[in-house]
Structure 1
Amino acid sequence: MGSLLLTTMPRQDETFTSFLLRTCQENEYESLSWITNLIGIDIRQLAKPNPNKFNLEPLAQLLRIDESVLWSLTFHNDIKFFESSGGPCSFKDHANTEYDKICPVCFEGDPYVKKVWNLKINMGCPIHSLRLINKCPKCNKKISSIRSDINKCNCGFKLIHLPKIHLTDSEVLHSKIIANAFFGKSLYEVPGNSPIYQLSYYSLTKLIHSFWYRINDGRNGIGINQINTENQKVFEQLIAVYNMFLNWLCNFKNTLNISDSKTFIPNIKRDFYTKLSDPEFLVFIQEFRSYLEKEEKRPVIFRNFNTESKLMSLGNVIKLLNMGHPSINNLIKNGILVEYKQIHNDSFSTRSITIESINKFLEMKKYIVFKKELANSLGLTTKHINLFEESGWIKRIEIFSEKNDKKSYYDIRFGDKLVSKLEKNIIMIPEEKSKEPTFISFSNFHNRAAVRGISFIELIEGLLNGAVNIYKVKGSKPFLSYYFELKEVLSYIKIYRYEKFLESKVSLRNVEVCEVLRLSPYQLTSWVRLGFLKNTEKNTFEYQELKVFVDQFVPLNELLKRYKTSYANIANALRKEGIHPVSGYTVNEGAGYLFKRTELDKHNLGIPKINLKERVLELISAEYRNKSDCYVSFLRD
């Protein structure tokens, strides 16, 4: 067998498959199958190089590298250790081989996969304080170690674009502990002097694996071999295992004290005396024995609790509220939970929370919901909740985390109060009636209003003020069960637009202007074409433009209204005075006569100007003349 044209040397801390992928890339091979075909093995065996089933000698010859160097890139030593020691977990629970975990920043600078990343109990990169990513954001699958390109997922996604999720200082500490133990030297500085810092990598692994099952519902919980770095709950559980042995001995005692399981301490005792009986764990075993002795001889003390000063340990609070340390710290930071620190004689401190603040928070928590939950309870979408928030109707609750749209909380009582006001004068109807063409749903009403320039908030304000009767069918969420009479909806939209027009906040359409000026659409269109009246790009008319028009011109129909005679008589009388129309039969093919006001005023004809506001109010009154006084007053206020 020959050798490859180009060979490269592996990194000291590189994985086996990462080195092979880089070698393929160097030789411009399309995939790892080029190498496996040359040495006659199944490509799937590369992910699980077990020395009992796998021979690396042909590969070593092909790559011109010593076989022992290749084995050092695998987890061969770990396999031998777990098989010989009968440790608490198998090799498949110990490290990833079929899938890679990656630090995006490390990978961007030098694209190769580090062995320490693929350890199951390692979740972060201590260099850049980032979460290790093991799932592709494009295909949502784990990043396979057997892929075509070292730089890409099998779906084609470039791994340098993986998301950068920052870790807290305490989370980074755990990765530093793992890295120091894995390389057998103090690569990273760690605070304090916990005995966990002195453990070898293999002993650390045994310790973490053993206690993982003790604090995570035993074998009934998620197995450590199922750890996913993007599962926040599992991540927090793994951190909780590490935390037991930090701030030694305080955290360990707190964990023992808060457990209400009758089997918890006996199981730990069995672990220490069997699985963890090595000399490296002697300091842990001694402290545990001391704890048991104190428990057996603990005197009975009767206490009179003062409700103003009663405390609960931080561990019990975490368990009671079912939250992680970051969430609890945010509650303390925001003044929701009141913390009490006590310094003990043995120079360590314990963190406690006052019962009073816990009870207040539990009462508050009953009403705290996600944005989506609030929207669903109302029969609306999250976009509508955003509109309520932007308008100041509701405030986001930010006590669990920093501002984050994906973790936005609200008080569900806002929805209850809103519905209570809306349904103050609700009219119940059977579902069959709501399906008649004379009724429309809230969604239909909202769409019609939006097209006419009425915002969602303005529509809700109108409903709260009784502008339109709300009909409701039984058995559905509020806004999904609301129906409205179509004729009332059209009137409401029409009147609302007229009101906004008087405030110069909306423009009117052709038909609406014709109604205000009492003209035909043909007349209006002709005057626009001749330049007497200006419209917008959307072919609508603004209040100020109409005001300028009525100040400068007088339509013939206004003269007819003033003198109550015929078109011919008005035209003849004006012609005798030397007054001629600027638009009309001879000017614009009979599209409508229009006169300049300055010409009429010279002859003191006493033609009053059109009062746009009065015309609009007349239309409003005509539209609602049959409505109640309070209904009309809302529109005029």
Structure 2
Amino acid sequence: MKYLRRPAPFLDESFFEYLLRLSNYNGYQLASWIYYKVGTPSSSYIIKPNLESLVQLSDMTGVNIQTYHSMLNYLIDSKQKKSEIDAFIMRRGINSHSIKICPLCFKESSYYRAVWDINVLTVCHVHKCFLINRCLKCKSKIFHNRITIDKCNCGFDFCNLPILKADPEDLVLPSLIEMKLKKTEITSCVNKGFYNPLYNLSLEELIYLIIYMVRVISYFETKKKVLSFHADTSDKEFIGIISRSVSIFNSWPYEFYKFLDKYSEVKRYKLTTGIRSNFGTFQSIFLKSNSYGFIKDAFSEYIHKEWSNGHHLTFKKIDVVLEDRKYISGSEASRLLKTPWNKVKKLIEINELQGKIQKTQRFCRIFVSQESINDYMISREKFMYSKEVKNYLGICHDSVKILEENSLISRSSERSTQKYTYYHKTQVIKLLDVFDERLLKNCSGDSKCVNSSFIIRELGNCFFKISVFFKLVIEGVLIPRKKITGNGINQYLFDKFESKNAILKYKLNLSTPTNKILSSVDFSTLIGVNNSLILSWIKLGLIPRGNSNMFCSEDIKAFNMKYITLKEIKMSCNIDYREIRRRIDEIGVKPVSGEYVDGSKGYLYLRSDLVKHNILKDKGYIFKI
């Protein structure tokens, strides 16, 4: 069935109002029967017909279904993927309850324009007059669900509504909306020599941004958290807020900066500091669309250059290039430098970093100069202060000074201060790298091992310093055998006997050639036996006795050339003690000294006897003196 009177819809006509006009043309007082036909209850103020309903309506009116789709998608294209902005506009941006009317437009053609449903639109761009949303006779608001298209339910003709001329500043937004709807090509975004970014936004982004700014300004000026968009269009306060929301984007970004100056004067959160306390959640607009990047950039620039009421780097919505920031917060400086917040504060106090410390009753806020952060990070890549050297090498502060005195590491006169001494980082790292190089070449061995602390203590007993330990490792005299879990040089293990022998050799090399005097302890270490065994051999007359058990190095060398200990035989043949004694007994070689010979605790043989019978694999001396 087709209607007798089938008026053609206008492209810019509201679909809701078209159904009312269709109902009036066919002599029906209400459009509820048409709502039912298109699948929408009459109590609903939002028409969302499905395809089947549109096909049925098209059959009854003879209007192409594509025309209906164009009317439904006139403001927001429903075919595109819905964004958060589109959903918000459908919920808050389109007034689906009460309506606004231009009296002059109704005189020219009695149909309702879809653009009038936009909440923030209060002016007709054609006639430059305010839209009216209240009946002059009954003083009630005008609604969609009325009886006739051109009259109020009280019978008042909309053509007789008053004509209120709008001011020039109120015409900017209607003109912009009309340009977006007609898709007029904008050749220039410059108005009187100043850039206006609103020209580059889509209709949806424009409506959302203005609604957002209206709500922000409304709360800022009137302390109303939710602005009612159902206020009378004659309400000067409501119209003024919309005009000011649009004017913020004129002469961009200078007017925007003026708005931020005023907006930041009101503290919004008593218990917070920084941006949130003065701007609240203003930054949330940045996340709605990439097209709002111009606001983000301008807001970030304002924060970094104009605003000085608190730190802002924890404010993740602002991601300005790091080099553009003049000051950063203490927490961000702590993250960049990988050091505790208190350490950053201390660095400012000793002038290692340039910054400010602001103390309040409850908070202590830190602002650090970005330039000083960059300089400090560069210096940290090249230098280490004394405590870091101490921790890296696993030594004490005095040992660090000893290494410097012996030119193993050098301080930086450029960075060092009275409180902190900085050393060249490459030299410190190179010291520990030598240990790894030696370890890779000599990772075998299962003898008794000691750590570096044991060797350093032995050096200290001999009145040598830790620099000797590093020199012996660098020269290859001390060779790391194993590497364990630890810190610095304490990770490395050394052969105990080789370490003691190396210390004694170093002491001999420092002595004069004609006066090398050693104690019995040094003697026992050189040949790898206990001191008690040396003392027993002295009593037996095998070793010439000096004053207070002190020996000339020549006497020790003579003893070593004449005699050989069981330990040296073991190391030469690489077999255990029982097997050595069994083999020696089989060839008939008798010990010079031993438990069953003279009661000595250790066995001693003539070196010539063992060399004669080819017992020793190494014909040289294991313990070279």
Common fold, TM-score beyond 0.5?
no
Could you tell me the TM-score, scaled by structure 2's length? Answer: 0.43
Could you tell me the TM-score, scaled by structure 1's length? Answer: 0.42
